[in-house]
Amino acid sequence: MATIYKDGEFVQETWVRADSETGPAAGGDLLVPVALFLEAPEAYLTRADQTALLVEAGEKVGLAAEYLDRFAYVAVAFPSFADGRGFSTARDLREHLNYQGDIRAVGSYILDQVPLARRCGVSSFEISKPEVLKALKAGEWPEVTKYLQPAFGSIEEIPEGTRPWARRSHRDVAVAAE
């Protein structure tokens, strides 16, 4: 059972990770890696239970582009907090593949990366680190207020200065003293 953080709430979910031994015959909701999925796409998509796609760091999610709308969600792996390829994958899903569904961060990210992942299009988080779970339950949200890329989704921001790519959080607006 995994703890999922989405839209400010915590839920418990159970997903079985497919491997070459179990394949599509595994019971329950199944999280399948891209390479394994591409070996037999219809076998995974015609199962009675839900199927989700797992994109490991460095994998090309575009190989499964024609099937994206048929997954319960797409999980993007963050193998370590120092590996930023998950951010690029999430952005690729939103920007180039126009994926509108749930993108879930899985793996070894840290709390400081959660708001940044949201800016790249990640909409839910599988929490594996107890310190991240504790901080989110306590309402911590470490946000950087100035950005050099526009965000996806419901993140509110405003232009910063004369550079068209610069953005700042709407919370960063100075309030005049009365």
Segment 84-142, tens digit of pLDDT: 999 999 999 999 999 999 999 999 999 999 999 998 999 999 999 999 999 999 999 88
Domain residue spans of the chain:
2-140, 143-178
pTM of the shown model: 0.83
Q: Is pLDDT above 80 for 147? A: no
Q: Is pLDDT above 50 for 68? A: yes
Backbone φ, ψ for residue 52 (5° rounding): -125, 155
pLDDT number for residue 133: 96
Q: Please tell me the least confidently modeled range out of 25-29, 40-44, 146-150.
A: 146-150
pLDDT number for residue 175: 44
Grouping H, G, I as helix, E, B as strand and the rest as coil, residue 66 is helix
Model confidence at 171, in pLDDT bands (50, 70, 90)? low
Q: For residue 158, list its beta bridge partners.
A: 168
Structural class in CATH, domain 2-140? alpha beta
Q: Is pLDDT above 50 for 177? A: no
Determine the straight-line distance between the first and last CA of the chain, rounded to whole angstroms: 52
pLDDT number for residue 155: 63
pLDDT number for residue 149: 67
Task: Please state the rounded mean pLDDT for residues 41-52.
Answer: 95
